[in-house]
């Protein structure tokens, strides 16, 4: 069968003296995880622990590297501070915004890894069909030649090889910082409209107004930020 499929003898030779063969399958995670963050927002899964791949696009290790790179950049931005007084430039790690960093990691990596894994599975099904159907294989071979001629590679590979995870992280961080600024502006506006009482004397009219709106307290900034980030 291998000879009929066009395999070279040098690849077939090691198999000629095989007495017993063991067919090994691939372990996949079905359905996909809905989140890579566990432990109340303190544990992040990366690589195969989050999205075990199938080997048809050769993206398993690459996705793990993208996970690690994305997580490192987010932790560096949200969880490290460098004191200007330290000549050595040593950074200190803070857990204050760890939940923000991991939540953003989850939002960035889930769609990316799911798309890559789905493409790999699709390619694997096509490869299996080629192995089972000689006519389909001939047609598919011709299509592959044309795709490589026009695109210099297979189009199904392009979303993987053209992706820049650094740019994706920068865009996501910019969006979060914009929402933070919006939250600060909203909190400042609330405080300006409902200033806290810091004087002892008030006119009767002012007292009456405060009594009427005693329930309109300033909204904490962290509350507004949480709503905007949701």
The gap from C-alpha 37 to its chain's centroid, in whole angstroms, comes to 11
pLDDT value of residue 215 = 46
Per-residue DSSP letter, 37: E
Question: What is the per-residue pLDDT across 149-206, written as a single tens digit (0 to 9) for each?
Answer: 998 888 888 887 889 999 999 999 999 999 889 988 888 888 888 766 444 445 444 4
The pLDDT score that the predictor gives to residue 152 is: 86
The per-residue pLDDT for 228 is: 54
Report the pLDDT averaged over residues 3-14. 84
- Report the Cα–Cα distance between both ends of the chain, in Å, rounded: 57
Angle, alpha carbons 82-104-62 (nearest 5°) = 95
CA 80/CA 96 separation, integer angstroms: 10
pLDDT value of position 224: 52
**Which tens digit of pLDDT belongs to each residue from 70-101?**
999 999 999 998 766 555 567 788 898 999 99
**The pTM is what?**
0.68
Write down the residue that tokens 């005693």 correspond to: 214
Q: Which run of H or E residues covers position 92? A: strand 91-93
pLDDT on residue 209: 46
């Amino acid at each position: 069968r291998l000879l009929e499929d066009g395999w070279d003898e040098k690849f077939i030779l090691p198999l000629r003296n095989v007495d017993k063969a063991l067919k090994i399958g691939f372990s996949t995670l079905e359905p996909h995880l809905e989140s890579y963050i566990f432990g109340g927002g303190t544990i992040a899964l990366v690589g195969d622990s989050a999205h075990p791949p199938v080997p048809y696009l050769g993206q398993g290790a690459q996705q793990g590297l993208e996970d690690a790179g994305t997580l490192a950049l987010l932790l560096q931005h949200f969880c490290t501070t460098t004191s200007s007084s330290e000549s050595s430039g040593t950074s200190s790690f803070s857990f204050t915004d760890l939940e923000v960093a991991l939540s953003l990691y989850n939002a960035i990596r889930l769609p990316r890894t799911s798309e890559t894994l789905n493409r790999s599975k699709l390619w694997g099904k096509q490869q299996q069909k080629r192995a089972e159907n000689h006519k389909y294989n001939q047609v598919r071979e011709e299509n592959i030649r044309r795709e490589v001629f026009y695109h210099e590679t297979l189009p199904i590979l392009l979303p993987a090889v053209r992706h820049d995870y650094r740019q994706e992280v920068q865009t996501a961080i910019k969006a979060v910082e914009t929402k933070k600024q919006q939250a600060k502006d909203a909190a400042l506006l609330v405080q300006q409209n409902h200033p806290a009482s810091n004087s002892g004397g008030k006119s009767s009219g002012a007292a009456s107004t405060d009594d009427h709106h005693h329930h309109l307290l300033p909204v904490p900034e962290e509350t507004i930020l949480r709503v905007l980030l949701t």
